[in-house]
Amino acid sequence: MRRPFCAAAFLVLLTAGCGGGSSSGRGPAAPPPDDSAPSGLDSRPVNLTCVAPPRADPAASEIALEPVFAALSFAQPLGMLQMPGDDSRWFVLEKGGTVRVVASEPGTAAFDADFLRLNVNASGEGGLFGMAFHPDYPADPRVFVSWTEGSAPMTSVVAHFVSLDGGATLDPGSRSDVIRVNQDASNHNGGHIAFGPDRHLYFALGDGGGGGDPLDRAQDTTNMLGAMLRLDVDGAAPYAIPSGANGNPFADQPPCPPDHSAGSSCPEIFAWGLRNPWRFSFDRETGKLWVGDVGQGAREEIDIVERGGNYGWDCREGFVAHGSPSPACANVTNAVDPVHDYPRALGQSVTGGYVYRGTAIPALAGQYVFGDFVSGRIFRLIGDGQGGYVADELLDTELQIASFAEGPSGELYVVDLGGTLHRIVPADGGGSGEEGPNVAERLSATGCVDPSDATVAAAGTVPYGVAAPAWFDGAVRERFLALPEGTAIAIDGGGKLVFPVGTVLMERFRVDGAPIETRLLMQHAEGDWGGYSYAWDASLQDGVLVDGGRTVDLGGRQWQFPSSADCAACHRSSAGVALGLEAAQLNRSFTYPLTGRTANQLATFDSIGLFASRAVPETLPALPSPDDPAATPEQRARAYLHANCAHCHGAAQLAGLDLRYSTSLALTGTCDVPPARGDLGLENARIVAPGDSDRSVLVARMSRRDVHGMPPLGSLATDDVGIALIRAWIDTLAGCG
């Protein structure tokens, strides 16, 4: 399902969150403050306009996965393809070295004879990676295959084979090696091969891996690692170098040996600066070369690779500078940015896909479809109207997406390393490309504001505040809640609020006194939340719906509108979806503009019938404010971490951390714990070093806004007051108590 941009998406996402962090023996929660009135409102406002509509997102009904060859079992399949001009059979590559053959008929329950069996080194990330039929097959009977073999060193091999039985199988004895490249380790091997529209063979290689940061391999063009190679397999044996006006950039140099001992740039290289290109494809209409390049520890990226391009690794990871660049990066000034990157919160290993050129799902026409091996998500890229792309999640699966495949008609398939194959199909008969009614393009038409003055919330909304607000680059915020008539909020045993279908949460942002953004978080159906961001137009009279993320300049300071994918990383069920709106955050006094009265919010909500059952503030948890001078340094710091970090490092325990206010220090996984994801150059580093904030990765990450900073999304400016608060707390810790 597509997950549009959601309210309150500027949140901590993953790895050592907010830098990591914890508390020592948290102490009791601050009691709810005394209130001057039993209720801040006299009655529940009538709400007939600010109600979430049923899901109207066309992508929600665009794709599903349909199993193919369900009666067969594959052993770690890595790819599938068909012969040119022949859709009668599928060839499925298994990591262990076998190419299986399956008839394309529905219900096929038996394999044909294996097309090829190879003795491969499948340890680590090794194995049988790719296969490509010559463009003139079967007139030219060569079939090219890519795999790893041997050890000390493991070697990447591309060879071609021919068939002696009319195409039923390949003859192992016909092997003729095209190119060999020694690998330094059993990871980051790349290995995919395909013929381009220029009829040359393209071969993608990773940087050689080996753990830690690579040793300049991807920036060193005297070796073939970390590069896209292009070979002319028709011009000479074993290959010729494409030359001329569109030739390889180093075409005039001698061929490089497999052991990386060349003294000049390798003529085989078409482009370089890649970390681990895992699956690439050519758009069958435009010929563009799309590559999914797996990141190191922060960003996954999609590249359109062109001749002579340097794609930045290990100087850059995605759009940002890599945290531990090699010395070679001092001379890299022309790195090509990806067309899209995404954070590790959405996945940890991109799998490149295809530009959709099929007919079954018209709404996907011309859009690049790709996935993530770790998270199982399938995305598409949509043009942002400014020459760039934003990612849109199509489906969240349980698959280990090892590869995509394209049939002759342009329809797409998904290969699951777990052993299953799937066809991407329209969901629920959808895919017509016709959009139903969607959320309003203008804020004034949403029903959640006064249509004549969009700066005023609709009369049916209820204002509220939170005890510990998250950091949003210093913006001033107002918050509003709207429930459909006849519905109420349930409270579970842990103080979590459960909202009825149709609920809308609205948050308004002001920067330097001017409105900049309004966000709506809507529950369209049970468990189906969607968020929408409205950017205020130049007249400051209305907000316009933002389609995808963007960053704007506000007269010298930057403001970031997150993308739908950024939003989906935080607003998940494990985080409670409606972030910040929980009993502990609401259990405080609030002054209601309508009456001028100050009262406890939970008591007010209870008195006007917003709760499905009685809510007694004294029996529910309460969160102190990080600014409350009456609270202890520990309580204030833990409240700050709860608001800013526990969305990911809470119930989900990403990176093994639990930073919820209710979790004792000993159980947070942070106090006196060495960081598992980099020490950022700190000597004897700890996530939280009791008594020494200078050794605490928590503080170091909060103080940065590069790939190692926290939060990794949404915030472009550090919270200096919050950093000082966390420093002061850590420096008071005598231990992990």
Joined together, the tokens standing for residue 609 give 């019938």
Amino acid 577: pLDDT: 67
Amino acid 611: pLDDT: 95
Amino acid 324: pLDDT: 64
Amino acid 107: pLDDT: 82
**pLDDT tens per residue, range 7-23:** 332 222 222 333 333 33
Q: For 721-732, what is the mean pLDDT? A: 96
Between residues 346 and 39, the one the model is more confident about: 39
Closest to 545 (Cα-Cα) out of 454, 424, 673 = 454
Write the secondary structure of 467-525 as one string of H (helix), E (strand) and C (coil).
Answer: CCCCCCCCCEEEEEEECCCCCCEEECCCCCEECCCCCEEEEEEEECCEEEEEEEEEEEE
Is 153:182 a contact under the CB 8 Å cutoff? yes
pLDDT-based confidence at residue 57 (cuts at 50, 70, 90): very low
pLDDT-based confidence at residue 6 (cuts at 50, 70, 90): very low
Residue 673 has pLDDT above 80, yes or no: yes
Joined together, the tokens standing for residue 172 give 């192992």
**pLDDT tens per residue, range 556-583:** 788 887 655 556 556 655 556 677 788 9
| Mean pLDDT comparison of 209-218, 601-610, 664-673, highest-scoring range | 601-610
Dihedral angle, C-alpha 195, 196, 200, 204, nearest 10 °: -70
pLDDT-based confidence at residue 120 (cuts at 50, 70, 90): very high
DSSP E strand boundaries for 336-437:
340-343, 350-355, 368-372, 377-383, 389-396, 401-406, 412-416, 420-425
Between residues 693 and 325, the one the model is more confident about: 693
How many angstroms separate the Cα of 102 from the Cα of each of 80, 88, 93, 258? 10, 9, 11, 35
Joined together, the tokens standing for residue 415 give 């290969």
**pLDDT tens per residue, range 281-305:** 999 999 999 999 999 888 999 999 9
Q: What percent of the chain has pLDDT over 70?
A: 87
Is 279:190 a contact under the CB 8 Å cutoff? no
Is 127:97 a contact under the CB 8 Å cutoff? yes
Between residues 292 and 319, the one the model is more confident about: 292
Between residues 100 and 4, the one the model is more confident about: 100
Q: Which backbone phi and psi does 427 adopt, to 5 degrees?
A: -95, 140
Q: Domain map of the chain by residue range?
A: 17-57+439-732, 87-425
Q: What is the C-alpha to C-alpha distance for residues 345 and 349, in angstroms, rounded to an integer?
A: 11
**pLDDT tens per residue, range 424-460:** 999 864 433 334 346 889 999 999 999 999 999 999 9
| Cβ-proximal residues to 166 (8 Å cutoff; 6+ apart), any chain | none
Residue owning tokens 């393009």: 441
- Residue 37 CA to its chain's centroid (Å): 46
**pLDDT tens per residue, range 220-262:** 999 999 999 999 999 899 999 999 999 999 999 999 999 999 9
Closest to 81 (Cα-Cα) out of 420, 426, 415 = 415
Amino acid 573: pLDDT: 59
Q: What is the C-alpha to C-alpha distance for residues 425 and 572, in angstroms, rounded to an integer?
A: 25
How many angstroms separate the Cα of 426 from the Cα of each of 365, 366, 395, 430? 13, 16, 12, 5
Q: What is the CATH number of domain 87-425?
A: 2.120.10.30
Q: What is the C-alpha to C-alpha distance for residues 50 and 73, in angstroms, rounded to an integer?
A: 51
Joined together, the tokens standing for residue 180 give 């060999």
pLDDT-based confidence at residue 29 (cuts at 50, 70, 90): very low
Is 477:508 a contact under the CB 8 Å cutoff? yes
Average pLDDT value over all residues in the chain: 87
Amino acid 430: pLDDT: 42
Letter for the amino acid at 376?
G
Q: Which backbone phi and psi does 219 adopt, to 5 degrees?
A: -95, -5
**pTM, two decimal places:** 0.59
- Residue 475 CA to its chain's centroid (Å): 25
- Residue 348 CA to its chain's centroid (Å): 8
Q: What is the C-alpha to C-alpha distance for residues 173 and 409, in angstroms, rounded to an integer?
A: 34
pLDDT-based confidence at residue 719 (cuts at 50, 70, 90): very high
Amino acid 254: pLDDT: 96
Q: Which residues of 500-523 are buried (b: 16+ CB within 10 A; e: fewer)?
A: bbbbbbbbbbebeeebbbbbbbbb
Amino acid 168: pLDDT: 93
Least confident of 345-354, 362-371, 384-393, 512-521: 384-393
**pLDDT tens per residue, range 124-140:** 899 999 999 999 999 99
**pLDDT tens per residue, range 329-369:** 877 878 999 999 988 878 899 999 999 999 888 888 999 99
Q: Where are the alpha helices (DSSP H) in 587-719?
A: 601-607, 633-645, 697-702
Q: What percent of the chain has pLDDT over 90?
A: 63
Amino acid 565: pLDDT: 52
Residue 682 has pLDDT above 60, yes or no: yes
Helix pair 633-645, 720-732: axis angle to 10 deg: 130
Is 709:697 a contact under the CB 8 Å cutoff? no
Amino acid 93: pLDDT: 98
Segment (H or E) for 103: strand 98-103
pLDDT-based confidence at residue 552 (cuts at 50, 70, 90): confident
Segment (H or E) for 569: helix 564-570
